[in-house]
Structure 1
Amino acid sequence: MQSPLYLFTVEEYLELEQSSDIRHEYFSGEVFAMAGGSKEHNMLSGNIYSGLRSHLRGSSCNVFMSDMKVKINLANENKTIFYYPDVIVSCDTEDQDRYALNYPCLIIEVLSPSTETIDRREKLINYRTLPSLREYVLISQDQVKVEIYRQDQKGNWTIQTLINIEDGLYLDSVDMTLKMADIYEDVISI
């Protein structure tokens, strides 16, 4: 005999997150523990965060790393999702929730072997439902490779891939360029 899967309410999930030492992502009632990242993963996230933080200091935008959730309401499916992106930026003054962002303009995920498929499919699909999101960036930790999904003024999404260390990652959502050499500093020998 099988036991039914327990589905958490949003309130139960948020309460669990406040008291847990482990971060969990939430998908329509189901809760999934998150694995820790590699040294390279953390260095890439830190390099990107510090570049964005320096650029955005004094602006109305805020940048967060790893411990800030993004909340997605899939109205057509009556589902709520919470993810923990590696780096996330919001420039919306309506983003006043203390533990989750509702209006991010930029989300960056560093790819890991255990999460790459989810980052490329499930998260890509779900993140793109956020009306405020302008860019979703995937960073490889095994090679110099960055993929940028960008929404244009008409709502169409395009993809750009950067593979050269001399390239610059232009982020239209925050009007800045991160040098690939700075992103991969101390991660991949140049």
Structure 2
Amino acid sequence: MAQPAPAPRMDEAAYLAWEETQPCRHEFVQGRVYAVREPDALDGPQACEVRSRVVATLGGALRAHLRGLPCRVHEGHVRLSLPRTAAHLYPDLVVDGPVPSRLPGSRSAGPQPLMVAEVLSPSTGSVYPGVRFAHYRTLDSLRDYVLLDPCQRRADVCRRDVDGLWTVHTFESGDQLELASLEWRMPVAQVFAGLP
């Protein structure tokens, strides 16, 4: 069986300039460049639609909840720069806003990522919880990292408390998904409503 070709190497400045000229998105992790791919055949024929619907449902609900507040909801095309791990990643959903001064690491007054959400598929389920979270947790402003699993109809929320410690909260079909940092709740069943 052939091994996949290694990801190309380049420095961060070259990546940032190159990425601006590309028709599709690429992530950068410690000098290596990876194409952002859609769910593939291993994930099933409806995987792209499932991910899109979950992101749209959650994004729409958060947008409605945050209307009038200095927060923005971004779906899929915002690149997060993670200087502490030399990475640039494209999560499925990001909420940014001003960081409350009472929280640790809140030195910046400008918009900062408060919540990152990613929709799992069979091909990403073993990568996102550990590898990507290791990058995201270096963002001082991040309060919630949400993993949405359409196959299990479940959400895992990694939540940072005021002391900077992370805890995992699991929400299943009969539960209310809660993002404490955004003072928001929604039935888990609603997040996944209408999916095949």
Partner residue of 1:88 out of 94, 102, 106: 94
What 5-or-longer segments of structure 1 have no aligned partner? 96-102
The letter of the residue matching 1:104 is: P
CA shift digits 1:18-77 (9 cap, x unpaired): 221221111021100111142111111111111111111211111101000111111xxx
Matches of 1:5 and 1:159 in 2, distance apart?
Answer: 32
For residue 155 of structure 1, what is the aligned residue in structure 2?
A: 164
For residue 168 of structure 1, what is the aligned residue in structure 2?
A: 176
Please state how far the C-alpha of 1:122 moved relative to its aligned partner. 0.8
CA shift digits 1:152-178 (9 cap, x unpaired): 1111111111112x3111111211112
Superposition pairs of residues 91-170 of structure 1, within 5 angstroms: 91-92=97-98, 93-95=109-111, 103-164=112-173, 166-170=174-178
Whether the 8 Å CA contact 2:7–2:34 is kept in 1: the answer is no
Matches of 2:175 and 2:8 in 1, distance apart?
Answer: 47
For residue 105 of structure 2, what is the aligned residue in structure 1?
A: none
What 5-or-longer segments of structure 2 have no aligned partner? 1-5, 40-47, 99-108
Is 1:47 equivalent to 2:57 in the alignment?
yes
The count of aligned residue pairs is: 173
Please state how far the C-alpha of 1:7 moved relative to its aligned partner. 2.6
For residue 99 of structure 1, what is the aligned residue in structure 2?
A: none
CA shift in 2, pair 1:169/1:6, >3 Å: closer
Whether the 8 Å CA contact 2:113–2:141 is kept in 1: the answer is yes
The letter of the residue matching 2:25 is: R
CA shift in 2, pair 1:5/1:105, >3 Å: closer
For residue 68 of structure 2, what is the aligned residue in structure 1?
A: 58
* CA RMSD across the alignment: 1.7
Structure 1 residues 31-40 or 12-21, which shifts more?
12-21
Q: Percent of counterpart pairs with the same letter?
A: 30
Please state how far the C-alpha of 1:6 moved relative to its aligned partner. 4.9
The letter of the residue matching 1:94 is: G
CA shift digits 1:109-134 (9 cap, x unpaired): 10022222221111111111111111
Runs of 4+ in 1 over 3 A off after TM superposition: none
CA shift digits 1:83-109 (9 cap, x unpaired): 1111101112523xxxxxxx3110101
